[in-house]
Amino acid sequence: MSTTIATSPARPGSPARPGSPATTDLRATAASLVTGGRGILAADESPGTMSRRLEGVGVEPTEEHRRAYRELLVTGEGLAGRISGVILCDETLRQQLADGRPFPRALADAGLQAGIKVDTGTTALDGPDDGETLTEGLDGLAERVAEYVALGATFAKWRAVLHLGAGRPSVRALDANAEALARYARVCQDGGLVPIVEPEVLSAGGHRLEVCAAGTARTLATLGRALDAAGVDPAAMVLKPNMVTSGEGSRQPADPYEVARATVDTLRATMRPELAGVAFLSGGQSSETAAANLAAIRRRGGPWPLTFSFGRALVSPALAAWAGDPGRVDAGRSALRREVDRNVPAA
């Protein structure tokens, strides 16, 4: 199966902005998030989403149960050897472990960095683009970034959602979401946080791999131009894209070799070589499929570190194993460790 990517070639590098906070410290932080084979744990579900997942395993959806579950995730022994940082939501960043330590301090004590989701969710895109969305959260972002830095966060995340289908993603959706991602990234770098930039092309549907490749290429090329226009330092940010895969309902599912080739070729055609690294989202794939595709992508290689920033693919088994039982905390930690280990290269 061949994949043709119709987009512009990768752009030449440019120096960091003079006088910008995106200098040595931010670049070092960004590099530390993606090097050494370690990944980033996405535990940033909103209270509403997390409550629904708790209910799904028979746990009362209280603030304390959300806190206890997040504590289980971040306190496993040896996690720092496999995970570089944990993305939290606003609620968790402000909570404390049972021993009284704030979550950011506990993460730092364990050798992990604390991240924070700063977008406020999606809204319908105004106009004729039925079903397409724009991610919000720019209002007051600079002030929130300053507060999150004071609370101990070192990096942030913003997710844009793009849809595949007839005429999708539309130019309006691409431009609007790319501009928002770029503005977010610039505000974070100016405020002292490393931005994780997440443009997710959803895998819903029965499309072939080539359709996802074309949509992802358009998304990343538009994003790259917006990042350049905003003056974002690529060496002080991490890209969190989808893998290029067949649709969830495709009759011709792509194998890991095909996914790796299409994914890396798309990234090479659209992203700057100075980018600190790429941490893929799992995009609803099973943990086994996501791990197999990631391993193939790493074998294909690129000019940047290639790693993972998975959420459900890592934490769902831990939630099911724990199910709110204090006596099963170790079982939950073991389930998380097993899933993380799938995605960490052998030493």
Give the mean pLDDT of 46-50.
Answer: 94
With residue 115 as reference, give the H or E element that holds it: strand 113-117
Using a 10 angstrom Cβ sphere, with 0-12 exposed, 13-18 middle and 19 or more buried, the burial of residue 230 is middle
Whether 68 has a pLDDT exceeding 50, the answer reads yes
Helix (H, G, I), strand (E, B) or coil at 112: coil
Q: Which amino acid is at 243?
A: M
What value, to the nearest 5°, has the Cα angle with vertex 261 and ends 255 and 266?
125
With residue 333 as reference, give the H or E element that holds it: helix 329-342
Q: What is the dihedral of CA 308, 314, 315, 321, to 10 degrees?
A: -160
Give the chain's radius of gyration (CA, Å).
Answer: 19
Helix (H, G, I), strand (E, B) or coil at 257: helix
Q: Where are the alpha helices (DSSP H) in 83-198?
A: 90-93, 103-109, 141-151, 171-191
98: which residues sit within 8 A by CB, 6+ positions away?
68, 71
* pLDDT, tens digit, 9 for 90 and up, residues 232-280: 999 999 999 999 999 888 888 899 999 999 999 999 999 999 999 999 9
* pLDDT, tens digit, 9 for 90 and up, residues 7-34: 433 443 444 454 454 467 999 999 999 9
More confident residue, 345 or 155: 155
User: Among candidates 113, 126, 129, 195, which has minimal Cα distance to 159?
Assistant: 195
With residue 155 as reference, give the H or E element that holds it: strand 155-162
User: Which pair of structure tokens corresponds to residue 195?
Assistant: 């931005």
* pLDDT, tens digit, 9 for 90 and up, residues 120-156: 999 999 766 678 999 999 999 999 999 999 999 999 9
Point out the residues that are catalytic: 240
How far, in whole angstroms, is CA 170 from its chain's centroid?
23
Backbone phi, psi, residue 133, to 5°: -130, 165
Q: Specify the pTM.
A: 0.92
| Range scoring the smallest mean pLDDT among 12-16, 24-28, 76-80, 205-209 | 12-16
Q: What domains are defined for the chain?
A: 35-112+311-342 (no CATH), 118-305 (3.20.20.70)
Instruction: Tell me the C-alpha to C-alpha distance, in Å, between residue 326 and each of 69, 95, 96.
Output: 10, 19, 17
CA distance 323 to 115: 25
Count Cα atoms within 13 angstroms, Cβ side, for 30. Answer: 32
Determine if the peptide bond prior to 169 is cis (ω within 30°): yes
CA distance 7 to 227: 16
